[in-house]
Every structure is written in C-alpha cells, then in structure tokens.
A and B are shown apart, each in its own frame.
Chain A
Amino acid sequence: MLGLGLSLFTGGSLRPYYAVVAAAFKDRVEADGGTVESMSCLKADLKVLNPIKPPAYTGLLNDYSGAAAAYSLRLLDNTYSGSAVRVRRASDNAEQDIAFSNNELDTATLETFASGTDAFVTTWYDQSGSGNNATQTTASSQPKIVSSGSTILENGKAAVEFDGSNDSIVTSSNFIANTDLSLFVLRKFNSTTAKPQDVVSQGATQSFEGFKYGMSGGGQDQLAIYYSSLYVPTDGNTTTLQELHSLITTSSTTTLNINAASKGLSVSSGGQIGNNSDPLTIGKRDGTGGYYNGNIQELVIYTADKSTDESGIETNINDYYSIY
C-alpha cells in the first residue's frame, strides 16, 4: 500500500507519489475514452484531496523524558499546554501569561502586551510537569525579557536577561537532593568583570550540601558540589559567548561539555548532590551575591545520570538554537 509523501520506482526512475498516481489516473481515464486536460492541475487536485499533514512536533522532552525541571522559551513537550512565562510590563505593572506560537515563545503577543515599554519575567514555567516553576515576586529583581518594546534576543531567539545586580528567580521548593544531576543550560554572559557569578545554585554555603554552577572567583566555569567539597573549575576562562553547557555529576564521575565538546576538569572524581532542602535559584548564588550578568534561553535539569542521552539532548538544543 502506498503512503502519502512516498516516491515510487517506476520505469527505473524515482518519481514523486502524486506524479505516479496522476499518471495512473490519466491512463485509466484515457483507456475509458476520456481525456485529461492538465496533468499539473490533476496533481494539484490530488494534493487537495489527500493533503500531506506535516509531521507532529516533537519536543526535547518527548524524546528525552523524565526531567525534574525544564525552563525554555520554546515548547519542549508537545503535551504541555501551559504558558512559557508570566510577565509584568513596566508601563502599568499589569501581568499576563505568554504562551507559545508555532512551538516558540509568542513574541507578537508579548510585544503587544509590553506596549513599547520593558517587560519582566515574574514566572518561568516548568514544562516538565513537575510544577517546579521559578518565580520572582520582587519587582526590582525580576529578569527582563522585553526592552523598550522589543523581545530580548540572543542569536535570533528570545532570551531572559539577568542584570548582574539583583535579578534572580527561585523555585518554591527543593527537588534536587541525594541524587545524580544532569543539567543542560544555554547561557551567555554579558559581562564577566564581576566575580564570582552563579548561573544556578542551591544552598548558600557548604553547610547546605547543595551546589552551584557558574563562574568562579578566578573567572573560570565552575561546578561546586558542597556535599563532597568538590570544586571543579574547567581548564578555560568563562567567556561571553553563547554556549551550551552540559553538566553531569554522579557518585563516580563529573563531566562538563561546552557546545558538545568535553572540557578538561581539574578533578576526575564525582559527587552527588547532598541532602539539602533548598530550592533552586537561577541568576545568583543562593543567599546573597554572585549575581549573574547574562542571558538564559533554556535550562533543563534531570535528577539522574543522562550520559547516554547527552549527545542527543545537545543535538536537539543546537538544532534549534544554532549555537555551534
């Protein structure tokens, strides 16, 4: 049985499905004594009668399920029906949820709502289904998403901008404790002058047994796992380039990829996240200080070892954002 969109071998050559069907139809009509005036019209008619449906959208979480939290400005799961973000506009402080259009942030609705002014993220919704939304209830600490009426973009895609002074968003509860961790974040520092800066963190100090990931006081990309006193700087300084960082840490190993390339680490041992009860903070060090000056476009977290899926997840993200 033939399927739509197939091509067929006929007469030793590969021909589009519609051309084959149209030719067969023409032959039959003529065999019955009729005529077909226009093959191109006939093929067009067949397409109307049997339209080829576009393939269903498949998001990152459809292919790689089980995330504990997933924040993005694109749709990550075709079963997710919620919004991407809730925003506050500067003109009158009204708030509105902004959903997706064609699987991307609905920037048209966003900019219409912003009405020529700035707009800030009050909630970045979790698309994982776990309900780990990240919020900021304090106006001056809300990261920006629209500047003077225009969506903030990074390499042509919408981004959430943290100002490096007092912006952050926080989940309502802890969801990373006593576990392996796989974290994928698409980030771009806008400035690396102030040091240290934390892109994500959990627990203010070692005593909280959480972790932090960002730029160290020495200016390097760094993971710190407080539970095991593991401080893992990379072999290179933090850049102001748009980069996809893939971080996986288990009881036995810790790895970091930047743009899908493995980075050298100063230690080769591993460390799970400890027994803590802190929420996840995005945009600063939990507690005070360490504010991140840069943009985030996507942050997906698994409380599991996703080594076997790492390459696929990186490819999915890069296929959309064209990072490297």
Chain B
Amino acid sequence: MAYYTSTTKADLEAYNTLVTTGEGYNGTTPNWATIVEHPNGLDFAILKHPNYDATLTIEESLGAEWYPSEEI
C-alpha cells in the first residue's frame, strides 16, 4: 500500500478531500483515509488511492518507525 508523505499536514488533508469528493463517499463514510502522524511530530502520511495522484512524495509503505507500538 503506497502512501503520500509530507511535512505539511494541510497538503494531505487536501488530498483526502480530493479523493472523498471524487469518490462521492456519503452516508456513514465521509472520509477516504486517516492521516498518520510520525512520532517525530514533523512528518505526516496518507494512504494513496489507486485512482488519484498528487504531486507529493510517495512511499511504497510506511516503516515501523511510524508505528511505535509497545513490543508487548
């Protein structure tokens, strides 16, 4: 699953709106994806929709560093 990343959260929110509007989500589904915040507080990511492109940095996947789960 590819992700767009950015240090500007608003860019990813705009992408979310682009997909949501384009796909016509409605009813109980008003969003395309949840924006993931890196633990460093500086980087953000959103899942790329296969039918919508943007001029953002693309990553093939998010590394484990994005999800600092307790290893328990």
Contacts and interface: CB of A to CB of B under 8 A. Distances in A.
B63 to A, nearest CB: 12
10 contacts: A137-B28, A138-B31, A140-B32, A140-B33, A166-B47, A195-B71, A196-B72, A288-B36, A288-B66, A288-B67
Interface of B: 1, 20, 23-34, 36, 47, 49, 66-72
Given A92-B24, A93-B25, A288-B36, A137 B72 contact: no
B28 A122 contact: yes
Contacts of A271: none
Contact of A138 (B23, B33, B72): B33
Given A142-B29, A288-B36, A289-B69, 9 more contacts: A122-B27, A137-B30, A139-B25, A139-B32, A141-B34, A166-B1, A224-B72, A285-B69, A290-B67
A94 B24 CA distance: 9
A290 B71 CA distance: 9
A165 B34 CA distance: 12
A106 interface: no
- For chain A, the bracket of interface size reads 20 to 34
Given A93-B23, A140-B47, A141-B34, A135 B28 contact: yes
Counting chain A CB atoms within 10 Å of each CB, the highest count among B24, B27, B70 belongs to B70
A195 B1 CA distance: 18
Given A93-B24, A138-B34, A288-B36, A205 B29 contact: no
A222 B28 CA distance: 33
B71 A166 contact: no
Interface of A: 86, 88, 92-95, 122-123, 135, 137-142, 165-166, 195-196, 205, 216-217, 222, 224, 231, 285, 288-290
A289 B72 CA distance: 12
The majority secondary structure among interface residues of chain B is loop
Contacts of B26: 93, 95
The interface residues of chain A, by DSSP majority, are classed as: loop
Contacts of B71: 195-196, 217
Given A139-B23, A288-B36, A216 B72 contact: yes
Contact of B29 (A122, A165, A217, A289): A122
A224 B70 CA distance: 11
Contact of B69 (A137, A142, A166, A290): A290
B46 to A, nearest CB: 9
A137 B68 contact: no
A212 to B, nearest CB: 9
A139 B33 contact: yes
A231 to B, nearest CB: 6
Contacts of A142: 29
A138 B32 contact: yes
B70 to A, nearest CB: 7
Contacts of B69: 196, 217, 285, 288-290
| Residue in B1, B24, B28, B33 whose Cβ sees the most chain A Cβ within 10 Å | B28
Contacts of A165: 1
A96 to B, nearest CB: 9
B68 to A, nearest CB: 7
A48 B28 CA distance: 48
B28 A139 contact: no
